[in-house]
């Protein structure tokens, strides 16, 4: 099949791209709804990846709400410059999906869930206790991309927490992070998700 984006509607292009750019990692983003971070917003974003390691920069791409206003995570990042990105586990798929509900600004997706917050040591923020990887980030750059436009948010990682249960020493003095224990949840198209079925190695040339 050949597809020409210039002859397709934006919706059809979105459906094609999200079904073929797979699997996508998911940033489960906690962001402060107010200056004192008394209320926190939680939402998943799979237009997410690493951009640079020196300094450590990640990207998130956020569309708008159905009424055309900024998504709460985007507004919180632009107004307060910080967020915590979690790498959710495959068993948390339902909670991740549920946290994508569109609520009014200031309402927290955490209410009524079993997710718990703990202090994120080394930062002024909190993180989700049940998730094995958390990255404390600060806004680096905001760009508007495309016709709607889409908000491209570059964030710098200031602190990383990884549960000791998913870390090991490789015997050569390097800490390794065990993908099979992290069990990251990945996004496919539509309502489909994936987990790591098999981890295999390829000899380096």
Which of 97, 117, 154, 159 forms a contact with ligand FMN (CB under 6 A)?
Answer: 97
The residue among 62 and 128 lying less far from ligand FMN, judged by its C-beta, is 62
34 and 72 Cβ atoms separated by less than 8 Å: no
Region of 3-11, 55-63, 170-178, 196-204 interacting with ligand FMN (CB under 6 A): 55-63
Q: Is 41 in the site for ligand FMN (CB under 6 A)?
A: yes
| Minimum distance of ligand FMN from residue 58's CB (angstroms) | 12
Supply the minimum distance, in Å, between the C-beta of residue 112 and ligand FMN: 15
CA distances from 160 to 87, 94, 143 (A): 11, 25, 25
Map the footprint of ligand FMN across residues 155-194, applying CB under 6 A.
187
Phi, psi of 6 (to 5 degrees): -70, -5
| Angstrom distances, CA of residue 11 to CA of 48, 188, 192 | 20, 16, 18
Which of 25, 33, 45, 58 binds ligand FMN (CB under 6 A)? It is 45
Of 26, 128, 133, 136, the one binding ligand FMN by CB under 6 A: 26
Q: Which of 51, 56, 57, 63 binds ligand FMN (CB under 6 A)?
A: 63
The CA-atom distances, in angstroms, between 49 and each of 59, 154, 183, 193 are: 5, 10, 17, 17
Q: Does residue 92 bind ligand FMN (CB under 6 A)?
A: no
Q: What is the DSSP letter of 184?
A: B
Q: Which is nearer to ligand FMN, 122 or 146 (CB)?
A: 146
| 149 upstream amide cis, omega within 30 of 0 | yes
Closer by beta carbon to ligand FMN, 18 or else 163: 18
3-state secondary structure 9-64: CHHHHHHHHHHHCCCEECEEEEEECCCCCCCEEEEEECCEEEEEECCEEEEEEECE
Cβ atoms of residues 184 and 90 within 8 Å = yes
Nearer to ligand FMN, 120 or 193 (CB): 193
The nearest distance, CB 116 to ligand FMN, in angstroms, is 19
Binding site for ligand FMN (CB under 6 A): 26, 41, 43-47, 61-63, 71-73, 96-97, 100, 102, 187
């Amino acid at each position: 099949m050949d597809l020409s984006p210039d002859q397709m509607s934006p919706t059809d292009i979105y459906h094609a791209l999200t079904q073929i750019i797979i699997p996508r990692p998911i940033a489960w983003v906690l962001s402060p709804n107010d200056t004192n971070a008394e209320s926190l917003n939680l939402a998943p974003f799979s237009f997410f990846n690493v951009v640079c390691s020196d300094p450590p920069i990640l990207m998130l791409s956020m569309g708008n709400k159905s009424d055309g206003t900024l998504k709460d995570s985007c507004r919180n990042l632009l107004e307060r410059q910080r967020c915590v990105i979690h790498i959710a586990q495959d068993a948390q798929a339902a909670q991740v999906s549920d946290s994508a509900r569109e609520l009014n600004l200031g309402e927290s997706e955490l209410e009524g869930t079993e997710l718990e917050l703990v202090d994120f040591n080394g930062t002024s923020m909190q993180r989700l206790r049940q998730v094995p990887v958390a990255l404390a980030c600060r806004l680096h750059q905001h760009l508007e991309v495309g016709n709607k436009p889409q908000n491209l948010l570059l964030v710098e990682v200031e602190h990383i927490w990884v549960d000791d249960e998913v870390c090991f020493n490789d015997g050569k003095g390097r800490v390794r992070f065990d993908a099979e224990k992290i069990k990251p949840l990945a996004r496919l198209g539509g309502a489909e998700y994936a987990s790591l079925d098999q981890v295999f190695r390829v000899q380096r040339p």
